[in-house]
Structure 1
Amino acid sequence: MAIEIYKKYMEEKMGADGNVESCKLSIPDKFNFSYDVVDKIAEMEPQRRAMVWCNEQGERREFTFCDIKEQSDRAASYFRSLGIGKGDCVMMAVKRHYQFWFAILGLHKIGAIGVPVTYMLKLEEYIYRFEKLDIKAVICTPDNDVASRVDEAEQMSGKKFMKIILRENRPGWHQFDEGLEKAEKFVPLTFEERPESGDTMLLYFTSGTEGMPKLVGHNFGYPVGHIPTAKYWHNVDPDGLHFTVADTGWAKSVWGKLYGQWLMGAAIYVLDYDSFTAHALLTKMEEDKITTLCAPSAFYRVMVLEDFSKYNLSTVKHYTVAGEALNPDVIEKFSRMTGKQIYEGYGQTESTLMIGVMHWMDVKAGAMGKPSLQYNMELLDEDGQIVPTGDVGEICVKAEPGEIPGMFLGYQGEDELNRSKWHDGIYHTGDLAWRDENGYYWFVGRNDDVFKSSGYRISPFEIESLIVKFPNVLECAVIGVPEKLRGNAIKAIIVLTNGTEPTQNLKIEIREFLKEHTAPYKVPRIIEFVDELPKTTSGKIRRNIWRK
């Protein structure tokens, strides 16, 4: 079925020249990614490579689709033996361990709901999540003291659920790996027993740049919406090895480490690590012959500080970036150093790829690209009117809930928020952009981040992109600070490269540099140097922390 879905989509929606028309993907009844994609490929090409996994300790494992089918069958059988079934919520805080793939596919097979979260959550964050959602079980990594925090949060929240841990034995916990070894032969759900394609399959807590995280729901048809993600944007090679840098607790993980890639039959690469260094990443890319890479903006900002002549990256044919907008200067520098372009993409936890520089398109440094195939998109002003070319508007999608494969079902338990974000047949992303004469979208910022200073509308990202062009600036955040005269004064919070002294003279030099490259009203009046910027677990800078 996976091959049939893909071929039908390609034949109907795209010409040889890459021109596309507005289209609507259709989801088969009772579509289930585990049965209809993974198991189907395992049947057709059992020895096709599915995943290459390695960690910092030098361990390495390769899995075929036949292996993945077998292990996900075992996981499904094990979960069923614990009493987990259709509609039950199972939280997963398992880092980048290969068991994540066994578990999530096993949950799909029994119709349960996966709730991936990052292993980096603190005690209070677990308590909030346990109080927000009734869960049947939690699956945890044994690393980073995650299990202890779950134990304490369970007690403090007053909630009770099964606890499953990987690799080790722990009092009061079930042991996942032993459970898989002892699992009885799995009896798949009959077609009639399967969940409907519109039933909830995944729940994600939003990364929460503003306010408390909200629960975003996706249905069993969601994976099909990632065909354009993998084929047109990641440009994956079915015989290659795709590497998306993302923790499994972040929705970007299933963007790049699961659904679209396996719909294409392409193998995924997983590097299980605790601390990132550009040297380690580039070394692994060389050693394991990565063919396509997708990484967050913060990774590229660090990577361009490396000497690329030390690495043989000739196998890497295509680079993409997502998470938050990447500064044009970094894109241009990367291109000079590698001879390759970085193809930007935009989407949300609530969606699949919404806007992207597809592999056949010209790269414009700083531009997000054009709307993805299945999204009918417009830029609207505050009155809901389409803005002219060149004007800033909110990115909005014309659709009803459940109409577009890949779009979320709504925010669980947040009726007022749902009404404000999705009404009159339009979904409001809360992100601002402008569109040029060639149809490319350019990111401006979140509605909450844009502010006025001396009557001028200020886009933090625009000023940040200029500041990072200054030598010795690693990254920065721009916010508005209340001031009587101007309404808001512009403040820049800057992280310097290693070894750079944060002096008063450096602040003056940065301001003088900006005066030469932008209008005077955009030059920050306040500059603060810090060691690091607070970020969400998905790598987005949390400007709201500084505003508070």
Structure 2
Amino acid sequence: MLELYNRVAQAIKDKDFESLKELKPKKPEFFNWVTDIFEPQNVKQNPNDKALIWKYNAQREDFTYKEISERSNQFLNLMRKHGITHGDKIFVQLPLVPSNWYGYLACIKGGVVIIPAATSLETRDLEFRFKSVLPQVTLSDAANADKIDEAEKNNGQKIKLKILTEGTREGWISIDDIFSESKVAEGAKTRSDDDLFYFFTSGTTGMPKIVVHTHFGYPIGHLTTTTWVGLQKGDLHYNISQPGWAKFSWSSFFAPWNVGATILGYHIDRFVPKEQLQTIQDFKVTTFCSPPTSLRMLIQEDLASYNFSLRECVAAGEPLNPEIIEVWKKATGILIRDGYGQTEATALVGNLPGNKVKFGSMGKPTFLYDILIADDDGNEVETSEEGNICLRHHPEIVTGVFKTYLIDTKRNDLVFKHGLYYTGDKAYKDEEGYFWFVGRDDDVIKASDFRVGPFEVESVLLEHPKVLETAVVASPHEMRSNAVKAFVVLAGGAKASAELAKELFVYSEEHLSRYKIPRIIEFTKELPKTISGKIRRVELRAEEAMSKHKKEKRDNEFYHDKY
């Protein structure tokens, strides 16, 4: 397998991504990413290279590959001392602290299934998770331990081992106990199809689903993420992401360590654009990944006043609007490249380094995936025709697509059919093979027999200088069935008014087809989001449906003359 990783690393250096399409990874009987890749490639060959730089206010901790490997072995030995074995499950609810990284390494090496959880989750969320899958281990800080204890009590089942990263607490052991453990540990003999991660999806629609990834498919799948970012040995990579959702494992774990790069873990209490930009400059970050939500705030600053060392910049989590690309490129000289993936997979489509970029496009399929646009019956649609983003299954080729949905297995039949995996997203492909995102299947608006993708409308509104963020949803309408409504967060200094709403209506008319024009604009202070930064349009749709059912006139809501 090291040969495969070396091939990918060389292709990134040469920007020769076409050569990767001939690679067809075959699944071995046994595979463990830590013992088969991380240790021989990074720890043995480059023990003194920096693996992680962690920063929080004035605090800083650096780990070489040798040091973080030894720390992870101590963590694994501590778990084993308390009876944790291959196949057990760990629930991790931590802020961005170093124990995330060496804890993950320990669990992968020991065959312990990882269940990440965001710190924003409350007790009721944990109860749902514990009822779905009861972990044998929990790893938490003091701020989240209360919630875990309460959820455990309400669930009525005891957790075998609870590890606390700071202070003391009844029923918990201290993570500092690892320092009395050996720095050497034997890896578990994990099968390729053994479960590795249980991700509770961020839930843009309905209750969270449990996505199961395996020991071989998930790490191998993230080679596509490594190529999309364009990571190389010697890079310092910074990904704006909190632990608890899949993007952390994407860009803050597997992708950089697949090629021996250094990860910057910048822990913050709140997002301050100036501090983010200063850190990127001062630490000489070379590769950068951010959700568009954060980029929209960063581009409000004087980017040209910073002296960056950036080579590659990418964005993920929500489609990337052309306006962000243009402002960032003008100020920094770096082109932000968009990409597309899911909790259920890895980087599926992307604009790769050195390749032609079409502003607003997701790019082209990455090398492990055979992607098409299909109708509901599994037939590939014509060029430029909207359809479902699907993946063809080739049993002999391993990709990063998930193994199954846990518990709610009936959902598998909804997404795996016609020999395809249906992502649940809509897009179209142009004549050059570039994919263009339309929206989640549930997000597409049906108005007056037309289908309107929210992303296109949002992209136009975001080009207006007074708009910081926007979300477009369907609003029930007696004549049209639905009208297009835009929730708008204003940029600093702009104030909600009927005049500004009219200005945005006129602006939309100048840049959109008539049937796509928003008929309602509502100014709001913030948009509901998932922990991964995705806008929860499902929440806005439900709120809007209830409002129209009650015939309410909402504050700061304005209607087009031709509503």
Normalised-by-shorter TM-score class: over 0.9
What secondary structure is seen at the aligned counterpart in 2 of 1:298? helix
Q: Would you say the 8 A contact 1:294–1:320 is kept in 2? A: yes
Deviation track 1:6-28 (CA, whole Å, cap 9, x = no partner) reads 23557899997543435422344
What secondary structure is seen at the aligned counterpart in 1 of 2:213? strand
Question: Is 1:172 aligned to residue 171 of structure 2?
Answer: yes
Shift of 1:380: 0.3
What secondary structure is seen at the aligned counterpart in 1 of 2:315? strand
Question: Which residue does the alignment assign to 1:281?
Answer: 276
Question: Is 1:226 aligned to residue 222 of structure 2?
Answer: yes
**Cα separation, 2, equivalents of 1:122 and 1:101:** 23
Query: What's the % identity of the aligned pairs?
Result: 36
Question: Which residue does the alignment assign to 1:51?
Answer: 52
RMSD of aligned Cα (Å) = 1.8
**Cα separation, 2, equivalents of 1:269 and 1:323:** 19
| Alignment length (residue pairs) | 538
**Cα separation, 1, equivalents of 2:24 and 2:444:** 33
What secondary structure is seen at the aligned counterpart in 2 of 1:515? helix
Question: Which residue does the alignment assign to 2:247?
Answer: 252
Choose from 260, 269, 292 the match for 1:297.
292
**Cα separation, 1, equivalents of 2:99 and 2:13:** 37
Amino acid at match of 2:302: D
Please list, as runs of the form range in 1=range in 2, the aligned pairs for 1:272-421 lying within 5 A after superposition. 272-313=267-308, 315-399=309-393, 403-421=397-415
What secondary structure is seen at the aligned counterpart in 1 of 2:363? strand
Q: Would you say the 8 A contact 1:477–1:541 is kept in 2? A: yes
**Cα separation, 2, equivalents of 1:110 and 1:19:** 36
Choose from 207, 211, 229 the match for 2:206.
211
| Greater CA drift, 178-187 or 215-224 | 178-187
Report runs of 4+ in structure 1 exceeding 6 Å deviation. Answer: 10-16
Question: Which residue does the alignment assign to 1:131?
Answer: 131
Amino acid at match of 2:32: N
What secondary structure is seen at the aligned counterpart in 2 of 1:541? coil
Shift of 1:186: 4.1
Q: Would you say the 8 A contact 1:27–1:224 is kept in 2? A: no
Question: Which residue does the alignment assign to 1:24?
Answer: 24
Question: Which residue does the alignment assign to 2:77?
Answer: 77
Deviation track 1:170-221 (CA, whole Å, cap 9, x = no partner) reads 1221111x221122454404xxx51101110111100100000011111111
**Cα separation, 1, equivalents of 2:362 and 2:75:** 39
Shift of 1:270: 0.8
What secondary structure is seen at the aligned counterpart in 2 of 1:131? helix
Shift of 1:237: 2.7
**Cα separation, 2, equivalents of 1:117 and 1:194:** 26
Unaligned runs of 5+ in 2: 543-563
Quickly say closer, same or farther: Cα 1:36–1:530, change in 2 above 3 A. Answer: same
TM norm structure 1: 0.95
Shift of 1:35: 1.3
Please list, as runs of the form range in 1=range in 2, the aligned pairs for 1:496-535 lying within 5 A after superposition. 496-535=490-529
Shift of 1:309: 2.3
**Cα separation, 2, equivalents of 1:156 and 1:517:** 54
Q: Would you say the 8 A contact 1:402–1:408 is kept in 2? A: no
Amino acid at match of 1:518: L
Shift of 1:462: 0.8
Deviation track 1:250-273 (CA, whole Å, cap 9, x = no partner) reads 111111111121121111111011
**Cα separation, 2, equivalents of 1:113 and 1:246:** 21
Quickly say closer, same or farther: Cα 1:401–1:100, change in 2 above 3 A. Answer: farther
What secondary structure is seen at the aligned counterpart in 2 of 1:274? coil
What secondary structure is seen at the aligned counterpart in 2 of 1:385? coil
**Cα separation, 2, equivalents of 1:304 and 1:104:** 33
**Cα separation, 2, equivalents of 1:429 and 1:402:** 21
**Cα separation, 2, equivalents of 1:183 and 1:17:** 45
**Cα separation, 2, equivalents of 1:300 and 1:152:** 37
Q: Would you say the 8 A contact 1:401–1:408 is kept in 2? A: no
Q: Would you say the 8 A contact 2:310–2:334 is kept in 1? A: no
Question: Which residue does the alignment assign to 1:477?
Answer: 471
| Greater CA drift, 278-287 or 25-34 | 25-34
Deviation track 1:283-309 (CA, whole Å, cap 9, x = no partner) reads 001110000101111111111101012
**Cα separation, 1, equivalents of 2:9 and 2:266:** 31
Question: Is 1:33 aligned to residue 33 of structure 2?
Answer: yes
Unaligned runs of 5+ in 1: none
